[in-house]
Structure 1
Amino acid sequence: MKTQISKALLLLFALPLFFLSNPANAATFNQVVRGTLIDRDTKQPIIGANIVLVNSNPIIGASTNENGEFRLENIKNGRITLSITCLGYEKLTAPNIQVISGKECVLELEMAESFETIGEIKVNGHNGKRGEVLNEMAIISARAFTVDETKRYAGSLDDPSRMVSAFAGVTTDPAGLNEIVVRGNSPKGIQWRLEGLEIPNPNHFSHQGNTGGPINALSSNMLSTSDFYTGAFSPEYGNALSGIFDMKMRTGNNEKHEFTLGVGALGIDVAAEGPFKKGNRSSYNLNYRYSTLSLLDNMGLVDFGGVPRYQDLSFKTNFITKNAGTFSVFGLLGLSEIDVNQTNAKNDTVFKGTQQSRFGVIGLNHLIHVNNNSFFKTSVAFSNNGSGVNGESLFSDDKFYESMKRDWNNNTLQVSTRYSNRINNNLRIIAGIEYKHMFYDMKDDFRYDDDFRWRTNIDMKENTGMLESFVNCKYRVVKNVNIVAGLHYTNFLLNNSQALEPRAAIKWDITPKSSLNFGYGKHSMPENIVTYFANVYDENMVASTPNKNLGLTKANHFIVGYDQQLTKNMKAKIELYYQGLYDMPVENLDTSNFSIVDPFANNIIPLVNEGEGRNYGAEFTLERFFDNSYYFLVTGSLYKTEYKTLTNVWHNTVFDGTYAFNFLAGKEFILGKPEKGNTLNLNTRVVYNGGRRNLAVNVEESRKNGYAVYDYSNPYEDRLSNIFQLNFTASLKLNRKNVTHELLLDFFNITNNQAGIREYYNTISKDLDYEKQLGIMPNVMYRIHF
């Protein structure tokens, strides 16, 4: 393995010598830098703004036209900075924009209307202050991330889920799934969004109720600057308890057809974008990926128990009309499959089968202006997600019999509309309503070796709906104090469970470089549909569904934060938080310590909404944004997460790791003359997290029953090994005329650390065993942009 890594690194460093020694490298390559500039609140184009290329001599600049468009010709490759000014708006600076030969540099920029002369606002690509979210209604516990960061953070494997785990208060599953744990909450409390709409879990090899998986289906080629929220989110967001992952897709080039082809260890990646018709400002952007992961499996680097196969397609089209507004059609589709083969200690097959998962969403967004200060945005979408498992087990007579039949399918039709009005430069109001109707077709049968009888976990064809609405107001009291307040309403129509959720946040800019933030939010969400319709068997094997009337789980979030700008490119941030959860489903026994917060929970028991939980902690961030060819990020979290049932005794949850620390750093080296734009990037990430809590297994009872029996007398008291992970990424970009070559080497857990992360009962050895931390995971990818 070490030899293979050495060869890969040797190749990465040898390629620049070959390209730089080529006589064609003496040429200088120019590119177009253009984009659109709109008002951040009203989404109207800004006319007459001045765009200047910083440090150009003679000065290179342009002005925006009636559509807010600007264009700079013959810009040399490399890193550039743009300065944008316009009367009545705060000055905007877009730093470290990378210009390459293979793609035009097309920007989507937004400016904030000026209260009065407040000073310069720095942006990274598409948003306000660097790291500040696109949504101006979010002023606490929120962070924007760019596609450059997704590619730059070592070990991300081009997956935004893994990238955000570097943020304070966020961890992922050490087993290799990208499930997101925010401030000690269960991953099921995360909500995924795409282009402003809630979507099903967008990960391959996922199961019903999961929010993660091994591989995210949205390619980084399609990703635009997006937002991530870790608590007390603004009133427009509902149906989530721990966090919001609000992904945006990049609008395609509306003037020129461009293509990207990638080949690597994870498969192939093909992208295309361009105009539907030159001159009409409409565009398409699409991406297709296919992978078998057979290369990694054959090399013995990762053991999936079979060869995973997956493919996904993502697209976004944009149609700009003269009087009917802007229409956008988008989609994300994915299929995955793996042949499962489980063996015993003698390497004999004991289970064989196939696991499949699928998901997809297709949506339409329409934005139309009522006047210069207000607009409606209406969305319609259809989504599907499902999974299936079919398999045979080796029974006691040494014959294989069908033992598992599962087919879960969920279709959702949703429609939403929102109205935004900037009443004046101090006051903005947004209100909206959304309805989702879900159609379920689910069947899950299994049988044990003891009596050969089939048992049905769930068998249902049902449909139900969810109604949500909100009103949100942002008011600038004085030039340095902003208040955001509003209400969110949720009604889960299956059993008419309702919640009215007040939200409020205050941001006080103490000085131009420091701010104090306060936030409160009440949040709620229902359980996974399986919990409501799962069959519970009594001692006579008579099935019932006692959990249909479970209400919403609710939480109150309290946050206080302090931000300090240390230098032009460096800031520090501290946040303290407390989250009080209530109405959590727990077992309806006053002697039981079972709660639905357990990710390994067996939901087929009677539950009641009488449990509680609490999460509290402190988070620290020190970040130097990418500038002068390097960056670093240090994050740390100290936290506690607990729950209690009808026993009225507090216990740790499985996610109570106590602490989590990250260190990331990277350096960009310029190869040859700066105006050629050839670069080598080296990045590293060190992760050190407290281990997962362990739910002890009662070995003797497990042996008697033939399956795992957990000891809930003192759950999650012990903690398993701490998690250490060292990641490394090296990437090379080389420009030629109208073409850019890119080579990426990404090593996840390069030291192959494999700590025990979960204790479980091995039904084959009839003893305890441990699930291990995901070992080394390399990704080698070559891309060409043209």
Structure 2
Amino acid sequence: MPRPIWQVSLWLFLLLPHLGWSQSKHTLSGYVRDASTGETLIGANIWCPELKVGTATNTFGFYSLTLPSGTHAISISAVGFQAQVLDLVFDQDLTQVVELTPQTSTLDEVVVEGQLLATEMTQMSKRSIAVEQLKDLPSFMGEIDVIKTVQYLPGISRGSEGNNSLYVRGGSADQNLILLDGVPVYNANHVFGFLSVFNGDALQGIDLYTGGFPAQYGGRLSSVLDITMREGNQQELKGMVSVGLVASKAMLEGPIGEKTSFLVTARRTYFDVIASPIVKYVNKLENPEVDLKPRAFFTDFNGKINHRFSDRSRLYFSVYAGQDQLSNTSEATETDGDLGVDYISGGRDGLKWGNTTAALRWNYVFTPQLFANTSLTYSRYGFDVFFDEFTRYPEVDTIEDVFANQLYESFLEDISLRTDFDWSLNTQHRLKFGVNLTHQNFEPGAFSLTLSNGMDTTIGAPSQQGWRGFVYLEDEMRFGEKLSGRIGLHASTFITGEVNYPSLQPRASVRYQFHPDVTVKASYARMQQPLHMLVTSGVGLPIDQWVPATERIAPAVGWVTALGVTTQLPQQLTLSVEGYYKEMDGVLEYRDGFGFANSRIDWQDKVAVGSGTSYGMELLLQKPTGRFTGWAGYTLGWSWREFEELNYGERFPFRYDRRHTLVLALSGQIKENMKAGLAWTYATGEALTLP
């Protein structure tokens, strides 16, 4: 009986990596570190100019490069560090831990020869931002902000002024997978979107994907923002305290013995400390009998500890906890005319919201070519809206206190277990594969009322559980110097209640270098998103609710394809032009007349389900190294939505459809002790139709 086609295809796929092994080859592997701190470097380039092949360090600073026997010059470089060139004899497998020295000055332009250029990378629609560049750009009230910096990239819309949400290539704010050390962050905003939750002092790597998604990522339609925390200084104990205009922060890092290091950061704003006396003074002038106590602040904490069991085995534990609170407490002393005694009446109202994440990760080097990482992660986001009233008679023991406490609570939490493998077979094939299982618990919204007479009631949407699992496989292939590609499959399923939503999501990218300095790239990716966010407004309010796919509401699905040209210009400049087209189905919007306030109605009865289409062109001129760094970009885009229950079923522009957007972000070393930064954006206005 002939074998099924899928079995034959599988055998061919498994045999393909071995077709390039006609001569003896050996593997160079190891880690690239910062010589000043001992921390591993993400995205460092390992390049063989002679053979024009190379690789880059992964999230944990590990690399593996297989080359033919012989003597080869290997260049190791990273942005902001002095490059090294090693002459190595490949007569056996080699292990090399490389330490790069940070550049002490950028006043003189340094040109790094023999490095992996953008024209030689298969991946497209990816932008990496160096943390040092992040710190050099202008920031709101002196607070470094990852999200606001990302908003200066082409293809990204910031929405309304001050909004810290991301609208990527016509997608909605909930279609972005934001990861901190591999853990999803469901609300990245502090202070209603004016600041993000990411403390720049704790960050090491920032990668944004807007298309051509690697197979390891899933669960969102529009983008992936992958942020990695620092490991902590392994050379010496260091600390820092900073007092800014709106917040103070502190950091402590250092080694614990020879194999362990740690990093902790903390931050708190003092809006309430500054504004509270002013508010109380004004209130005393208008209502002298009322004692007002306003509070408005946020706090966040980052911690990370890592331990090296051996050169092959390492353990990492990282945690983030942050919370915002905006509340007002008032008390007033009045006289009861009937009883002739004083009583105190008052109340407390406000809202608070916050994220908690934790990640325990263990990675192990099985062979010089096979690297594995296993992660156990936890994430929780929730918000509370509260309104309490009370009346007390402190002078009369026989009269009990009267109170009425109202609370609206919503949260989402998940716990995940996943394992990822990175297998560098040879110079022609690099396999990545893994498996993930996630349990999610949704509390879409519950309103509770507690009274002093014993009444206690709760109404709202019921809690919902969900299981999401996926496996993925991806092969990064190289066919000579000019042609390379990546093909992968992300197979997932989401189970909730009695329904199961399976999904096969192919991913593909191809690169052809028809000139030493010019490359054409193309990509395709299909995605499924089994959770939605119900957006009440466009200003990043924490009352936007996360809800899962249900038996009535299916997951959102979409696909995006892109075609682009990348060219390497003189003066270390890179120019890329990309055109994209994206379709989305199963996107949600509140129906007319409904919103967050209708808490007694099931959210499934308040939403309309529709589709979206977006397309456009992005241009990016980038200079990643040198005395002056930064980028200039332009986006020409269209984004549409269509709902049967909205706008009479006619297609209409998405709220954040921006036809033209210009961005500029530059920073430079003026003198040895002086830097300057510039950030500017221009965007056409919001589409509006009047009767």
TM-score (norm 1): 0.63
Determine helix, strand or coil for the equivalent of 1:155: coil
Is 1:606 aligned with 2:605? yes
**Cα deviation 1:382-437 (Å, max 9, x = unaligned):** 222211011269xxxxxx99695211233321100012211111101111111111
Which amino acid in 1 is paired with 2:473? V
Contact 1:284 1:318 in 2 (8 A): yes
Q: Distance in 2 between matches of 1:298 and 1:352?
A: 15
Structure 1 match to 2:363: 367
Any gaps of 5 or more consecutive residues in structure 2?
1-34, 47-55, 66-72, 107-111, 280-292, 331-345, 390-401, 450-454, 536-547, 596-600
For the residue of structure 1 that corresponds to 2:685, the secondary structure is: coil
- Cα distance in 1 for partners of 2:594, 2:486 equals 34
Match of 2:109 in 1: none
- Quick one: distance in 1 between partners of 2:63 and 2:424? 15
In structure 1, C-alpha distance between the alignment counterparts of 2:63 and 2:619, rounded to whole Å:
38
Query: How has the CA–CA distance of structure 1 residues 142 and 306 changed in structure 2, closer, same or farther, with 3 Å as cutoff?
Result: farther
Is the partner of 1:233 in helix, strand or coil?
coil
The aligned counterpart of 2:386 is: 390
Residue 159 in structure 1 maps to residue 158 in structure 2: no
Residue type of the alignment partner of 1:152: D
Q: Judge conservation of contact 1:551–1:609 (CA < 8 Å) in 2.
A: no
Residues 1:174 and 1:35: Cα distance change in structure 2 (over 3 Å):
same
What is the DSSP-based 3-state SS (H/G/I as helix, E as strand, rest coil) of the residue aligned with 1:460?
A: coil
In the other structure, the counterpart of 1:528 is 532
Residue from 271, 286, 292 that aligns with 1:293: 271
Report the Cα distance in structure 1 between the residues aligned to 2:569 and 2:435, rounded to whole angstroms.
Answer: 41
Query: Among residues 547, 562, 572, which one is paired with 1:559 in the alignment?
Result: 562
**Which residue in 2 is equivalent to 1:781?**
none
Amino acid at match of 1:664: A
Instruction: Report the Cα offset of residue 496 of structure 1.
Output: 1.1
Provide the residue aligned with 1:139 in structure 2.
Answer: 123
Question: Aligned residue for 1:240?
Answer: 220
Work out the CA distance in 2 between the residues paired with 1:325 and 1:581: 42
Alignment of 1:17-166 (within 5 A): 40=56, 81-87=82-88, 97-98=103-104, 120-122=113-115, 129=117, 139-155=123-139, 157-166=143-152
- What secondary structure does 2:372 align onto? strand
Cα gap change, 1:44 to 1:324, in 2 (>3 Å): closer
Counterpart AA for 1:484:
R
Q: SS of 1:496's equivalent?
A: strand
Partner Cα distance (1:121, 1:166) in 2: 30
For 1:451-600, what aligned pairs fall within 5 Å after superposition? 458-494=460-496, 495-528=499-532, 548-585=551-588
Contact 1:84–1:93 (CA under 8 A) maintained in structure 2: no
CA displacement, residues 727-781 of structure 1 (integer Å, 9 cap, x when unaligned): xxxxxxxxxxxxxxxxxxxxxxxxxxxxxxxxxxxxxxxxxxxxxxxxxxxxxxx
Counterpart check, 1:337 vs 2:336? no
Shift of 1:146: 1.0
Matched length: 554
Instruction: Report the Cα offset of residue 632 of structure 1.
Output: 4.5
Change (3 A) 1:435 1:272: same
**Counterpart in 2 of 1:773?**
none
Aligned to 2:252: 272
1:149 is paired with a residue whose SS is helix
Deviation at 1:481, TM superposition (A): 1.5
Amino acid at match of 1:667: G
Contact 2:119 2:566 in 1 (8 A): no
Equivalent pair of 2:574/2:623 in contact (CA under 8 Å): yes
- Structure 1 residues 623 and 197 mapped into 2: Cα distance closer, same or farther (>3 Å)? same
Checking the alignment, whether the CA contact within 8 Å between 1:586 and 1:594 is kept in structure 2 is: no
Q: Which runs of 5+ in 1 are unaligned?
A: 1-30, 48-62, 71-78, 101-118, 123-127, 207-212, 343-349, 394-399, 448-452, 532-544, 597-601, 671-677, 695-716, 720-786
Amino acid at match of 1:505: S
CA shift digits 1:445-473 (9 cap, x unpaired): 389xxxxx999773423322111221111
Partner of 1:675: none
Q: Deviations over 1:227-267 (max 9, x none)?
A: 01112311111001111110011121112111111111122
How many Å apart are 1:201 and its aligned residue?
A: 2.6
Q: Which residue of 1 aligns with 2:621?
A: 622
C-alpha displacement at 1:351, in angstroms? 11
What corresponds to 2:163 in structure 1?
177
Give 1:515 shift. 1.1
- Which letter maps to 2:642? K
Give the aligned residue type for 1:164.
V
- Summarize the alignment of residues 660-671 of structure 1 with structure 2, pairs less than 5 Å apart: 660-670=661-671
Q: CA deviation at 1:149?
A: 1.6
Of stretches 305-314 and 648-657 in structure 1, the one that deviates more from structure 2 is 305-314
Distance change in 2, residues 1:249/1:691 (3 Å): same
8 Å contact from structure 1 (residues 218, 332) kept in 2: no
- Supply the distance in 1 between the matched residues of 2:602 and 2:582 (Cα, whole angstroms): 24
1:191 to 172, 177, 183: 177
1:554-607 deviation line (CA, Å, top 9, x unaligned): 1110101111111142121111000011233578xxxx88999xxxxx983538
Contact in 2 for aligned 1:44/1:372 (Cα 8 Å): no
Contact 2:563–2:578 at 8 Å: present in 1 too? Answer: yes
Q: Deviations over 1:596-629 (max 9, x none)?
A: 9xxxxx98353899632100011111223342x3
Contact kept, 8 Å, 1:131 with 1:145, in 2: the verdict is: no
Quick check: 1:585–1:607 contact (8 Å CA) kept in 2? no
Q: Tell me if the contact between 2:361 and 2:375 (Cα under 8 Å) persists in the aligned partners.
A: yes
Identical columns (%) = 17
| Cα distance in structure 2, aligned partners of 1:497 and 1:240 | 15
Partner of 1:711: none
**CA separation of 1:595 and 1:577: change in aligned 2, threshold 3 A:** farther
- The Cα shift of 1:184 comes to 1.9
Q: Give SS of 2:174's match.
A: helix
After superposition, the Cα gap between the structure-2 partners of 1:481 and 1:297, relative to the gap in structure 1 and judged at 3 Å, is: farther
In 2 relative to 1, CA 196–481 (structure 1 residues): closer, same or farther, beyond 3 Å? farther
In structure 2, the CA distance between the partners of 1:530 and 1:316, relative to structure 1 (3 Å rule), is same
1:550 and 1:608 in contact (8 A); partners too: no
CA distance in 1, matches of 2:523, 2:564: 9
Structure 2 counterpart of 1:707: none
Structure 1 distance, partners of 2:219, 2:118, is 28
Change (3 A) 1:635 1:95: farther
Q: Secondary structure at the match of 1:654?
A: coil
Matched, 1:283 2:261: yes
Q: Which residue matches 2:642?
A: 644
Q: CA RMSD in A?
A: 4.1
Question: Counterpart amino acid of 2:301?
Answer: L
Distance 2:565 2:403 in 1: 61
SS of 2:512 mapped into structure 1: strand
TM-score normalized by the length of structure 2: 0.71
Change (3 A) 1:98 1:289: farther
Query: CA–CA distance in 1 between the matches of 2:690 and 2:456?
Result: 37
Which residue in 1 is equivalent to 2:683? Answer: 689
Distance 1:130 1:260 in 2: 36
User: Shift in Å at residue 310 of structure 1?
Assistant: 1.1
* Secondary structure of 1:445 counterpart: strand
User: Relative to 1, partners in 2 of residues 1:632 and 1:194: Cα closer, same or farther, differing over 3 Å?
Assistant: closer
AA aligned to 1:555 is G
Between the aligned partners of 2:459 and 2:487, the Cα distance in structure 1 is 44
